Amino acid sequence: MRYLVMHYNTAAADAAAVVGGPPDMALFAKMGKYMEEEKRAGVLLSAEGVHPSAQGARVSFAGGKRSVTDGPFTEAKEVIAGFAIIEAASLAEAVEAVSRFAAVFEPGPKPNIEIRRIVEMADFGHPAG
């Protein structure tokens, strides 16, 4: 089964990214090592980081009208820092995989992570394809 994993930034980290400071190269190196290991194990299918919320927008629709709200977004629990698509046999296995991801951030604060199973045609009794 495939799972979408979203990790959330803190408001402070999202704001710091806007300033354009240099990335933490030690963290980048640890992240690269983690990603290579998970790819080799067949767990990590895809992963990307995203630019700070200040460079994004939210679009909503109501009453036939479109509303656009430009970033930054201040609710840290709503600021996605990146995402991955992983392969796992169960939600419990997916939780173990994201626990390994969170360990990359040691000794600093760990990100909040959301895991959602990706809908596939087989979920509706149709063959994959």
129 by Cβ neighbours in 10 Å (0-12 / 13-18 / 19+) ranks as exposed
Is the pTM higher than 0.85? The answer reads no
117 by Cβ neighbours in 10 Å (0-12 / 13-18 / 19+) ranks as middle
Per residue in 63-117, pLDDT (tens digit) is: 999 999 998 876 656 678 889 999 999 999 999 999 999 898 888 778 889 999 9
Q: Averaged over 118-126, what is the pLDDT? A: 88
Q: Which domains does the chain have, with CATH numbers?
A: 2-124 (3.30.70.1060)
Look up residue 111 and give its amino acid: P
